[in-house]
Amino acid sequence: MRIAIGSDHAGYRLKEAVKSYLLKQEYTVEDFGTNDTKSCDYNDVATPLALALVKGDFDRGILICGTGIGMSIQANKIQGIRAALVHDVFSAEATRLHNDSNILTMGGRILGDDLAFKIADVWLKTEFSNEKRHQRRVNKIES
């Protein structure tokens, strides 16, 4: 699975930890930045990552900022993106099963490494349910 990952300055530390974890799990990971804790705008990372995902360059994306909120809002501006802000394992599974989310957003100022790893694991390993009611709802999102 090809994973695109990115963060702003507030999510940088957690992004680096999650990226390292995913590489150890043998995922293919491309980092869209940022590359340090110098202040930057989350928009400048979320948009290129989301566009690359929609283009088909990646299977899924992970975006991390201070709360995950800004990244989620920005990514969801791109047609074809279903970014889900997740801070617990149950929601990570549900958003894949029910919403077929293709970008996971998390808060670097909210989550510890171990919980972020568990969330990423569940989110990456859970497939969309393909149940008619969920597909109908995803189709409505896309239209």
98 classed as catalytic: yes
d(CA 100, CA 22): 20
Residues linked to residue 111 through DSSP beta bridges, in sequence order: none
Which two three-digit tokens encode residue 62? 């992970």
The answer to whether 50 and 103 have CB atoms below 8 angstroms apart is: yes
The answer to whether 45 and 31 have CB atoms below 8 angstroms apart is: no
Active site residue: 9, 40, 65, 134, which one?
Answer: 65
Is the peptide bond between 34 and the residue preceding it cis, with omega within 30 degrees of 0? yes
The answer to whether 74 and 43 have CB atoms below 8 angstroms apart is: yes
Give the residue from 62, 60, 64, 76 showing the smallest Cα distance to 111: 64
Active site residue: 9, 40, 87, 98, which one?
Answer: 98
Write out the catalytic residue numbers.
Answer: 65, 98
